[in-house]
Amino acid sequence: MKEYDVVIIGGGVHGAGVLQAAVAAGHSALLIERKSLASGTSSKSSKLIHGGLRYLESAQFALVRESLRERSILLRIAPELVKLQAFYLPVYRDTRRRPWQLKIGLWMYALLGGFDSATRFGSVPKSDWIKLDGLQTKNLDAVIRYYDGQTDDAELTRAVVQSAIDLGGAEVAMPASFDQATLREDGVEIRYSAGGASVSCTARVLVNAAGPWAPHVAAQVDPPIFIPAVDLVQGTHIVIPFAVTAGIYYVESPTDGRAVFVMPWHGATLIGTTETPFNASPDQAHPLPEEEDYLLAVARHYFPALKSLTRADITQRFAGLRVLPAASQKAFDRSRETIFTADRDLRPRVLGIYGGKLTGWRAAAAHVMQRIASSLPHRPRRADTDQMILRRPLMNKNATFMLVPVLAMALLSGHARAEDYLSPTQERVRLTIGASRQSSTTNLQLDSSAGVQGTAVNAEDTFGLDKSDFEPKFQAMVRVGERHRLRFDYFSLDRTGNTTVLDPIIFRDVTLLPGDPLKTNLSLRMLGINYEYSILHSDRYEVAFTIGVNDTDISARGRVSTQARHVDQTEDQAGPLPTIGLDATYVLSKRFYFDARGQYLKIHVQNLDGSLGIYEVDGLYRLRPNISFGVGYNIVRADLDSTKSTESGFFNFSTKGPEVFVRVAF
Ligand SMILES: Cc1cc2nc3c(=O)[nH]c(=O)nc-3n(C[C@H](O)[C@H](O)[C@H](O)COP(=O)(O)OP(=O)(O)OC[C@H]3O[C@@H](n4cnc5c(N)ncnc54)[C@H](O)[C@@H]3O)c2cc1C
């Protein structure tokens, strides 16, 4: 039976944080996650790394101070993942809090944040209101701006786990579901299921970081341990196809005055959240129509351009569950402090994390390590978590090695729920493999090196080259950040011909004579490396500007072999052909989406005129969240015209045809 210092249940941000803190402190640790990292609340939050301005009203000063400290640590150690955003507080004639009240709150916020530059605030001059994404200005008295952090919660969670793995000593069992734990005097015996088998291991300490499932996990411990009374409260977010760009709007709901955020999110707008009491199993959390209406009312009220917005316009929706101390108060007014419970004070064997904030994951993990230190052997520390730089997982050095198992998992993942479907415009890596039926036309003329004009021929008719054949298709795309993509395309065409020459043909430095048995090969290989920048980007559509270089290699070979004559003429042309163009994606529904791209450039360098055009349109059907089947049509046209005295001639080539392919993306 494998032995660990710490075993953690739950791959949300808290589980990830404890895994990282445990290995940083020199321990061995196993994280058990039943689905995928951040598949629970940690991908369904408002994605804010914030001090919690509104907690000042309920005098939760310690929480605000700790959150502001964590915010500044995260801005430093995770600059790729946590960005400072402008927050706007519009104050209308009927807004509950007056500008002076907000300014007092922000002043206290700055004080608790140590007056660092991120705690600056002020009023937006009236002349600048026009820049606020069409915000309603009727009865608007003031707009106050301050700053807080925004992140991608799921990416942050994955980055924390990756940092733990990079450090060494961390293991992740996933998908693997915790079943039961038995307490022994000096530790815990744990059973979990993975790959259809029951696996056992031991730990000095079991950390229950199962979020809303934590009470259920705690109930599987034998002998029974204390389970705090908690309530689950559902919070829903919606994404609408409208881009707010100035920053995050922190507004009062016109329905009940609760605070709601309207935020830029991957080229669209994320609006949240609600607070709906929840009594079912955490697996059943899903956005309710009335929650969506409540959030749409916020958008319509504050942004007149959205007055006709309906539920049909929502492109993405998700619901997460807050774990709050059980109480009769409204969820909005309850404490957001994390609850930690241990099975015993001295040398705890089980420690549970209930509630908490995305912002405070690192501090919560540090607190857990402090609470369980007496149960763990002393080990040499590997790192300090406030110094460990967090990167987007794809930029890590292990990314390439992770790609293979992730791809395999993607292929094997069978049962997906609606919210597991990632919009194609958000996919980070895409691999496309397929085949196309290409019909080609090749016209060429190769003059001799002595300047004698070659014979202009159509290679299909004159050389008997296959007019159509099957060719493979390969494409890969990697998205870096939200808007930058790199795309690689590989295209090849190999054709052979076997014919008898009918009329004399001057083919570079040889003359092919009538009656010559002629064998030809014509091959074209093209590797396109393209940088794409998304000029329009939302969950529903994406339009990217493309600039690419296509390394093109064309090789033509003609052979005549008779007893009397032996001719072997080879002609190679290779070089990079640049293109510019547009690449667009349109998402019709969760299952259907379309891709189209067009790239073209005509160049003139010294004695060469060249142009390359690549056009492609594809329709895709998503079979599984990560796997799509596509059909499409592509056209490639290359025209090269050389006037160089020793190698003049032209090569005009076009190929087009239908294609079928499979795309794996995540
Ligand atoms: C609507 C909403 C908005 C929020 N917005 C913010 C915000 O803007 N900023 C902020 O700081 N905080 C925010 N929070 C709070 C924050 O999101 C949560 O505190 C945090 O994500 C909780 O993380 P967790 O790891 O405890 O739980 P989770 O992320 O839910 O992780 C629990 C994990 O345990 C796994 N699990 C469950 N049972 C088992 C089992 N038997 N075996 C193995 N694995 C299991 C689940 O699959 C899941 O992945 C928000 C919360 C909500 C609900």
Cα 357 from Cα 365, distance rounded (Å): 12
State in Å: Cα 234 to ligand 1 middle: 12
Instruction: Report pLDDT digits (tens) over 586-595.
Output: 988 888 899 9
Instruction: Give the per-residue pLDDT at 569.
Output: 78
Q: Residue 497: name the closest of 467, 469, 525, 521 by CA.
A: 521
Q: Which two tokens stand for residue 655?
A: 């190929």
User: Which amino acid residue places its CA nearest to atom 51 of ligand 1?
Assistant: 45
pLDDT reading at 497 higher than 90? no
Instruction: Report pLDDT digits (tens) over 381-436.
Output: 999 999 999 987 654 444 444 445 445 555 544 444 444 567 888 888 999 999 99
Q: What is the CA radius of gyration of the chain?
A: 31
pLDDT reading at 613 higher than 50? yes
In terms of CATH architecture, what is 1-47+152-226+340-393? 3-Layer(bba) Sandwich (3.50)
State in Å: Cα 448 to ligand 1 middle: 73
Q: How confident is the model at residue 551 (pLDDT cuts 50, 70, 90)?
A: confident
Out of 213, 258, 260, mutate this one to test ligand 1's pocket (max ligand atoms within 8 Å of CB): namely 213
Instruction: Report pLDDT digits (tens) over 175-231.
Output: 999 999 999 999 999 999 998 899 999 999 999 999 999 999 999 999 999 999 999
State in Å: Cα 627 to ligand 1 middle: 27
Cα 538 from Cα 425, distance rounded (Å): 7
Out of 35, 55, 357, 361, mutate this one to test ligand 1's pocket (max ligand atoms within 8 Å of CB): namely 357
State in Å: Cα 257 to ligand 1 middle: 26
pLDDT reading at 260 higher than 90? yes
Whether 420-665 and 1-47+152-226+340-393 are alike in CATH topology: the answer is no
Say which range, 31-45, 239-253, 497-511, has the weakest mean pLDDT: 497-511
Strands, DSSP E only, in 156-296? 170-173, 176-184, 187-194, 197-208, 221-222, 230-240, 248-252, 259-265, 268-272, 276-278
Instruction: Give the per-residue pLDDT at 335.
Output: 65
User: Which amino acid residue places its CA nearest to atom 26 of ligand 1?
Assistant: 211
Cα 361 from Cα 158, distance rounded (Å): 13
Out of 35, 36, 42, 157, mutate this one to test ligand 1's pocket (max ligand atoms within 8 Å of CB): namely 42
Instruction: Give the per-residue pLDDT at 114.
Output: 85
Residue with tokens 């196809």: 241
Report the pLDDT averaged over residues 576-596: 90
pLDDT reading at 513 higher than 50? yes
Instruction: Give the per-residue pLDDT at 239.
Output: 95
What is the 3-class SS of 367-418, one letter each residue?
A: HHHHHHHHHCCCCCCCCCCCCCCCCCHHHCCCHHHHHHHHHHHHHHCCCCCH
Q: Which atom of ligand 1 is nearest to the CA of 40?
A: 30
State in Å: Cα 41 to ligand 1 middle: 3
CB 360, CB 384: distance < 8 Å: no
State in Å: Cα 142 to ligand 1 middle: 36
Say which range, 325-329, 460-464, 546-550, has the weakest mean pLDDT: 325-329
pLDDT reading at 150 higher than 50? yes
State in Å: Cα 43 to ligand 1 middle: 7
User: Which amino acid residue places its CA nearest to atom 52 of ligand 1?
Assistant: 45
User: Which amino acid residue places its CA nearest to atom 9 of ligand 1?
Assistant: 48
Instruction: Give the per-residue pLDDT at 393.
Output: 65
Instruction: Give the per-residue pLDDT at 399.
Output: 45
User: Is omega for the bond preceding 90 within 30 degrees of 0, making it cis?
Assistant: no
Cα 545 from Cα 364, distance rounded (Å): 43
Query: Residue 249, SS3?
Result: strand
User: Which amino acid residue places its CA nearest to atom 35 of ligand 1?
Assistant: 10
State in Å: Cα 45 to ligand 1 middle: 8
Report the pLDDT averaged over residues 266-286: 95
Q: Which atom of ligand 1 is nearest to the CA of 48?
A: 8
Cα 633 from Cα 662, distance rounded (Å): 14
State in Å: Cα 589 to ligand 1 middle: 28
Q: How confident is the model at residue 465 (pLDDT cuts 50, 70, 90)?
A: confident
Q: Which long-range contacts (CB under 8 A, 24 or more apart) does 50-55 make?
A: 50/148, 50/149, 50/359, 51/109, 51/112, 51/113, 51/148, 51/359, 52/336, 52/357, 52/359, 53/105, 53/106, 53/109, 53/146, 53/148, 53/250, 54/259, 55/336
pLDDT reading at 255 higher than 60? yes
Say which range, 112-121, 470-479, 564-573, has the weakest mean pLDDT: 564-573
Q: Which atom of ligand 1 is nearest to the CA of 233?
A: 53
Kindly report the average pLDDT of the chain as a whole number. Answer: 89
Cα 212 from Cα 231, distance rounded (Å): 9
CB 320, CB 176: distance < 8 Å: no
Report the pLDDT averaged over residues 16-45: 97
Instruction: Give the per-residue pLDDT at 372.
Output: 97
Instruction: Give the per-residue pLDDT at 401.
Output: 44
CB atoms within 10 A of CB 338: 20
Instruction: Give the per-residue pLDDT at 426.
Output: 82
Residues written for the chain: 666
Q: Which atom of ligand 1 is nearest to the CA of 322?
A: 53
Q: Which atom of ligand 1 is nearest to the CA of 36?
A: 49
The residue that leads in pLDDT, 120 or 7, is 7
Q: How confident is the model at residue 334 (pLDDT cuts 50, 70, 90)?
A: low
Domain edges within the chain = 1-47+152-226+340-393, 420-665
Report the pLDDT averaged over residues 225-240: 96
User: Which amino acid residue places its CA nearest to atom 50 of ligand 1?
Assistant: 45
State in Å: Cα 86 to ligand 1 middle: 25
pLDDT reading at 273 higher than 50? yes
Q: What percentage of the chain exceeds 70 in pLDDT?
A: 94
User: Which amino acid residue places its CA nearest to atom 3 of ligand 1?
Assistant: 45
The correct answer on CATH 3.30.70.260 for the domain covering 420-665 is: no
State in Å: Cα 511 to ligand 1 middle: 76
Instruction: Give the per-residue pLDDT at 218.
Output: 97
State in Å: Cα 63 to ligand 1 middle: 18
Out of 46, 85, 258, 295, mutate this one to test ligand 1's pocket (max ligand atoms within 8 Å of CB): namely 46
Q: Which atom of ligand 1 is nearest to the CA of 338?
A: 19
Report the pLDDT averaged over residues 477-488: 88
pLDDT reading at 445 higher than 80? yes
Q: Hey, what's the torsion of the CAs at 66, 72, 78, 83, to 10 degrees?
A: 110
Cα 244 from Cα 564, distance rounded (Å): 77
Instruction: Report pLDDT digits (tens) over 518-549.
Output: 888 888 888 999 999 999 988 889 999 999 99
Q: Which atom of ligand 1 is nearest to the CA of 321?
A: 53
Cα 328 from Cα 336, distance rounded (Å): 15
User: Which amino acid residue places its CA nearest to atom 4 of ligand 1?
Assistant: 45
Report the pLDDT averaged over residues 438-442: 89
Cα 364 from Cα 210, distance rounded (Å): 14
Report the pLDDT averaged over residues 286-310: 96
State in Å: Cα 345 to ligand 1 middle: 25
The residue that leads in pLDDT, 406 or 75, is 75
State in Å: Cα 411 to ligand 1 middle: 26
Instruction: Report pLDDT digits (tens) over 103-115.
Output: 999 999 999 988 8
CB atoms within 10 A of CB 524: 23
State in Å: Cα 240 to ligand 1 middle: 23
User: Which amino acid residue places its CA nearest to atom 27 of ligand 1?
Assistant: 211
| Residue 164 parent element (H or E) | helix 153-167
Report the pLDDT averaged over residues 364-373: 97
Q: Which atom of ligand 1 is nearest to the CA of 32?
A: 43
| pTM summary value | 0.65
pLDDT reading at 457 higher than 90? no
Ligand 1-lining residues (CB < 6 angstroms):
9-15, 32-35, 39-42, 44-48, 177-178, 209-213, 217, 235, 273, 320-322, 353, 356-359
